[in-house]
Structure 1
Amino acid sequence: MYAILDIESTGGKYNEEGITEIAIYKFDGHEIVDQFISLVNPERKIQSFVVGLTGINNEMLHHAPKFYEVAKRIIEVTEGCIVVAHNAKFDYRMLRLEFDRLGYDFDRKTLCTVKLSKKLLPGFESYSLGKLVRKLGIPITDRHRASGDALATVKLFKLLLEKDADKEIISSNLKLNTISSVDQKLIRLIDNLPNSVGVYYFSDGDGQIIYVGKSKDIKKRANQHFTSDAPKSREIQEHVVSVDFEKTGNELLALLKENQSIKKLKPKFNSALKKDLFTHGLYVYKDQSGYLNLTISKLKEEGNYITSFTNYQQGKAFLERAVENFELCQKLTGLHKTKGACFNYTIKQCHGACVKEETPESYNERVKQLVDFYDYHNKNMIIQDRGRHPGEKSVVLIENGELSGAGYTELNFQIENISILRNIINPMQNDRDAQHIIQSYLRKSNKNLKIINY
């Protein structure tokens, strides 16, 4: 659990400042679960340059509560949390300073989004909150006011959690908040898991992630792990002490994140990804008469395939649908082995390419439509799908036919501006498994799926 906060102060000499405004958002890694926002009477004068920066003046704070009047609420909302702030050293120092004046030792673990941003978002000219969120396309209102800055920090931290492919933030959190008893009932671990599509992470008492999985229903799948008598499940049950998860909004993002996480983290209970998961591909070639033929065959080390399949039967089923949807010839797709006309020609559902009644130019045009639709080699496109909540969209960026990364956006201009989109997305390895996952997903009927070519 995180307490993401921002503090405005009076300015002045070091350790003589006072707090003028505080905003705290309690964040569980997925959504805000509590909040506290208040002006504070610092009982000292505000520096003139601070008034110009924040708009907060002494008159505004005349009737505001003094710090001792809000101290209990601050303790409550930050209890059991890691304090997160943009330049956490300053905000945490201000809190400790005010509590020290009351004779109370305020002690919390901290994370700084400036340091995290420099590590997870390298290459920016400035890591000030205003300039950073502007580059990332994150909206910010009431700049230099506690609530506006804290809310922007929440959105930034959420993006950093997504960028944290090695799960160092999660691991550090778990090490600081390790569950005390390894004998705790497993059912307690799934109480707060959602019935949503996404990726889940099992961790041991040292904060090490020991298993990564994906599911359309995270809670249901975790429950299956914890109730199974299979040897591997038994071993997981013995070692797991914490479960974390990422909602993805759709299965494509879950599959890609699972693929990436397993390869980067190498969890001890994840079997190596099978190399033969996708065994066959769809290939196109031109025959002696000039007609484009389609065929399903085993994947080759060299040569471009259009799309891939887990087995021959899946590829054949795809071709059968393609024959109907693109009005193709059964003979030229290998579905009807014959020297003459295909069966569909006899029932007037084939235009006659099999007996050369339809010209190669006319027939090949429909084949090219199929190839263009399913083959993304050398293409630049954005795959847009459902997000994790209403109003949000997921995006997968393909550049020159290769996976660049994936992320989420709530604003259309972020999708339209490729430079902003590159900053938002989490880079992903363009390996063969990722390509298979994307190609397989694109073949599925999905009303929420949208492909944007650019």
Structure 2
Amino acid sequence: MSGRKFPRLAFVDLETTGGTATEDRITEVGIIEVDETGVREWSSLVNPGVRIPEFIQSLTGISNAMVQDAPPFAEIADEVAARLADRVFIAHNARFDYGFLKSEFRRTGHAFQPPVLCTVRLSRKLFPGFARHNLDTLAERHRLHVTERHRALGDAQLIWQFWQRIHEEHPMETIDEVVGKLISRPGLPSRLDVLQIESMPFTHGVYLFYGENDLPLYIGKANNLRRRVLSHFSGNPMSAREQQLSQQVQRVEWIETSGELGALLQEVALVKQWKPAYHHKLRDNDEVCSWRLAMRRGRLQPMLITTDDLFFGIDPDLFGLYGDAGKANEAMRAIADAHGLCHVLLGLEKSRGNKACFASQVGKCYGACVGKETLEAHNERVLAALNHLRIQAWPFSGAVGIREKDTFHVVDCWSYLGAARTGEEIELLLQKGRHRFDRDVYQIARKWLTKPDVQIVDLHQLKVNF
């Protein structure tokens, strides 16, 4: 390590009453401090304030009697914090030890967010040819000296020995490169738990960013949850919107899905449920309107209807999806002008008796309003002009399941009812009844239904056979 600044390291191990950091408590802390001044070992039993389960006592050898007179963590919190300050936090399966200490420090009001290095991940990177990387395996593989297994200081000593051994077996440059990648991280928000992000899977799913009031600030879908979440904070430079989000986000939750379709549909459902402040694209698509062609006095005339209409999504003669009546009328006028259609016959302009419509006077109407074109011919041209905007009518008699691995995504009349894996779950979703037409679900499901390898199942038949 000559020629460079000596690193300040802390090799840490904990013993606890169980495996859940938010519910279980610490029973012993072991720390080995390593820096330019040398190596120092420290450990302390901790009174967890709760009973230690029998199987934990058998595993660690730490009994309820042993911790009865030990200090609670609050009494040693300052010393533990001082010993870990300004050091790289190194532990085996570091998420476990870091999570417990973060929970304990939160209770005592200490800030705790050190750079973290997990020796499980380090071993996997340096020794990729081996399948197992638990502490017993490392001790045997690298001939480490075992003192007290499953005691905090004894296990911390094994981690420290492993650190020394890798420096004997690998060039310094290799170790520095691997360690740098493992402990480096994008500019995550200060309140976001680094190891929580590292525990995120590399799978399809939906993630939710939360702020102070415990309401989602942003909801997104991902084909790779961890990579997508990290991408929010790794922009260089970050957009003003991402910077603002970064300043407010305090925690992240995620839901794994069966695949890409599940992530898309789940995102739509959650955004409409929570209406997060930083997600307007899906949130604002609740209400849409469309043109329905109706025959009146021999002419086809568009009538504007909304998703409240009982047959929205079923009627085969609906055209276009618009956010409001103003946008719908603007689009229809542009179509009429582009195709020489009559504004009066389309209901876009009031009749002027036997006079030609204004569009006809300026050469934008072929004159159906004054008999220069038959109504039949005008009707045919209306259909031709609108055909590319025709909404696909729901092609099934009822709800169907779009299968993705072991999951059925239940969709009925372009509305998403939910995901199910069993007949009982399908039955519960079907009991909810049909939701109203959803533009986002329509766009997602219509595209998915055209894929040749997608399995579509009639759920009314399937639930009988489960």
Q: What TM-score do the two structures reach when normalised by structure 1?
A: 0.37
Structure of higher CA gyration radius: 2
